[in-house]
Amino acid sequence: MSGSRARLQAVSAVTNYKPMSPPLNFAETPTGELFGINVFSSKVMKERLPKAVYKSLLKTIDSGEKLDASIADVVATAMKDWAIEKGATHYAHVFFPLTGLTAEKHDSFLSPDGSGGAIAEFSGAALIQGEPDASSFPSGGIRTTFEARGYTAWDTTSPAYILENPNGTTLCIPTAFVSWTGEALDKKTPLLRSMKALNEQARRVLKLFGHVEISMICSTAGAEQEYFLIDRNFFFARPDLLNAGRTLFGAKPPKGQELEDHYFGAIPERVLACMLETERELFKLGIPVKTRHNEVAPAQYEIAPIFENANVATDHQQLVMLTMKRVAQKYGMECLLHEKPFAGINGSGKHLNWSMGNSTQGNLLEPGDTPSENMQFLVFCAAVMRAVRRHSKLLRAVIAHAGNDHRLGANEAPPAIISIFLGEELTDIFEQIKKGGVKTAKRPGTLTVGVDTLPPLPRHAGDRNRTSPFAFTGNKFEFRAVGSSQSLAGPLVALNTIVAESLDYVATELEQVTKGDKKKLPGAVQKVLQGIMKENWDIIFNGDNYAESWHKEAEKRGLPNLRTTVESLPTISAKETVSLLSKYKVLSKRELESREEIYFEQYCKAINVEAILAVEIAQTLILPAAFRYQNELAQTAANLKSAGVAADTSLLERLGTLTKQLQANIEALEKAHAHKGAKNVHEEAHHYCKEVVPAMAAVRAVVDELEGIVADDLWPLPTYQEMLFIK
Ligand code: ADP
Ligand code: MG
């Protein structure tokens, strides 16, 4: 094994790895006993709260009714007592700023008692509302820095929990973060608002179908999280991974993912140990993680939970990411959540499984067994199709950020073109509806809604198209274009709201035609569905989304293909988005404009860091290595010459050309990066996208070529081969 000293040390540390903590013992403490022990769940509430208070709180949680402020003190005291029994010294309002990360502000329970001592206190007021000094969170101009005012408000629908640390625990309270004028400064607030909008519109449709008792309809979400695990010794030896979360350089290893021997293969022992502990921690937090497996790329894995109410699922997903990172470090590994840590190897996504439902009618995207259930299913399914067709640009915008540009719009799955995979069977059914019209007499190949039963729809993973960005998978849709590091909130806000709008449209049409006459419903439904299919048929694509031919076909169909973040983000404050989101009171014009601005800024910041790093690494690590090798070769040539042996200097010359090229490319990147004079953040982002990103790629191309030439013992960075295959 050769390699520079830093690399050799890293490799030796990896191979000599010894676990730091004693092994877990699930025979002693079965997972069933662990599940939810750190959650202030309804079970805990029932045990600890007076009956009336418990009932009132439950009503707020289940029906979305306003919280009765008079019970807050009682709840807060019960929460505090429970937390202190679990070793808590502090409580924290947890909130979700627009960075996509999770933020916490911790406060001690202790208050001076006025006679030199202190007592543990937690008032209802402190539970309901907090005031973090949040001046440095992005607000896009809504809350100017000098005001620095915003407050966190308890989200009763997402349970409080205990965060453990070896030196004590903290009571964590999920909150929404808003300005004093009531504007959303976070990811949670619009999510809650969008769920409300979906509930209202879905109810209208269900009422038309004759349902009387309808509990609150929630969107449901389950996210499959892909990630990489590499040894931390390599991570620390790579300034790019450390600072940008992805490698800016690195030649493709001789063995990549072509052999497909990693996918669903046996999980390496240390990785499995890490997964077991991660899952145990998540169980304690009441997060129902279910599956784990190796992904396609070497060193890539996936974790997926059972779906939950979308708001809770989003909070839980944030905890999944934090916990994965934290526990991996205990096992000497770094968990990489970036969308594209390694070029030339599959990137990571977060497949968002989405549906809507409630406790009285169940999953509304479940086809059901009877003609009437089928009819209702077709309405909800068609509403989703209509929504996605009409607002595909918005769906593209909410998954746009610098990291995801390496997946979407690059030659990787899924493409930036949003289309829907329905599967053959369901496509055929909708095709019949599209052709069939309102005729009740049955013609061959037509389906009469409300009379016929649907054939069973396949639900097995094998039947599915893995290349589609938005696929129907039997009883839910799977939005696959979401990036691995992203919060679920943005995509969920978009989905909930666009579907609410489509359900609003359907309900209005049906109400007008039926005027309360249930007998008219099947005919009316058939007509509405036919209209939706005729108008939105173009969104269906069951073929291979990677194929070049699809890109051409999509263009012919007029489906947008926004390849970059910079092209996608303007949709966030576009007229149609503003009118849609403000109509359903999800986000106002000002809130949308501020968000767009913040996301543009984040894009610029990400590329800025990468550009600085690329210059630094190329200049201070790569060039010196190349020059040293050049020197070695030159000396060899001189020695050979003086010994009277003819020296082949072609390698030396090649190296000379490449080092010259590298210096020129570094200079070009520096120049592109130093550019000033952008009038606003849009212009600046455009410059980064059009000038800086290609200049970085040009530097990379030369560096990666040098990696194949320079003597291995001089190469300063851990290679792809080492990072991906030494475990
Ligand atoms: P599959 O056969 O599609 O893998 P699974 O039932 O294993 O089906 O689901 C994959 C993911 O989809 C899981 O995270 C699961 O919780 C989620 N999921 C299943 N049903 C729903 C639903 N109704 N709403 C949201 N997510 C769901
Ligand atoms: Mg997957």
pLDDT digits (tens, 9 = 90+) for 515-542: 989 999 999 999 999 999 999 999 999 9
Would you state the pLDDT for residue 69? Answer: 84
- Give me Rg for the CA atoms of the chain: 28
For the residues 594-620, what does the mean pLDDT come to? 97
For the residues 151-179, what does the mean pLDDT come to? 94
CA 83 to CA 76: how far, in whole Å? 10
Would you state the pLDDT for residue 254? Answer: 78
For the residues 274-278, what does the mean pLDDT come to? 95
pLDDT over threshold 80, residue 255 = no
Bridge-based pairing state of the strands 150-154 and 168-179? antiparallel
The phi, psi pair for 334, rounded to 5°, reads -110, 135
Q: Which two tokens stand for residue 447?
A: 């389906």
Q: What percent of the chain has pLDDT over 90?
A: 76
Question: Does ligand 1 have an atom closer than 6 angstroms to the CB of 514?
Answer: no
CA 272 to CA 278: how far, in whole Å? 10
Would you state the pLDDT for residue 132? Answer: 80
Q: Using CA positions, which residue lies closest to atom 22 of ligand 1?
A: 355
pLDDT tens digit sequence for 477-505: 999 999 999 999 999 999 999 999 999 99
pLDDT over threshold 70, residue 444 = no
Question: Does ligand 1 have an atom closer than 6 angstroms to the CB of 306?
Answer: yes
For the residues 657-678, what does the mean pLDDT come to? 96
Q: Using CA positions, which residue lies closest to atom 23 of ligand 1?
A: 355
Question: Does ligand 1 have an atom closer than 6 angstroms to the CB of 311?
Answer: no
Question: Does ligand 1 have an atom closer than 6 angstroms to the CB of 461?
Answer: yes
**475 Cα nearest atom in ligand 1:** 23
Confidence at 514, pLDDT banded by 50, 70, 90: very high
pLDDT over threshold 50, residue 428 = yes
CA 694 to CA 286: how far, in whole Å? 45
For the residues 404-419, what does the mean pLDDT come to? 88
**How remote is the C-alpha of 585 from its chain's centroid?**
24
What is the DSSP secondary structure assignment for residue 519, as one 8-state letter?
A: G
Question: Does ligand 1 have an atom closer than 6 angstroms to the CB of 486?
Answer: no
Q: Which two tokens stand for residue 309?
A: 């109410």
CA 691 to CA 711: how far, in whole Å? 32
pLDDT tens digit sequence for 26-41: 888 888 899 999 999 9
Question: Does ligand 1 have an atom closer than 6 angstroms to the CB of 463?
Answer: no
* Mutation pick for ligand 1 pocket among 264, 309, 353 (CB with most ligand atoms within 8 Å): 353
**306 Cα nearest atom in ligand 1:** 16
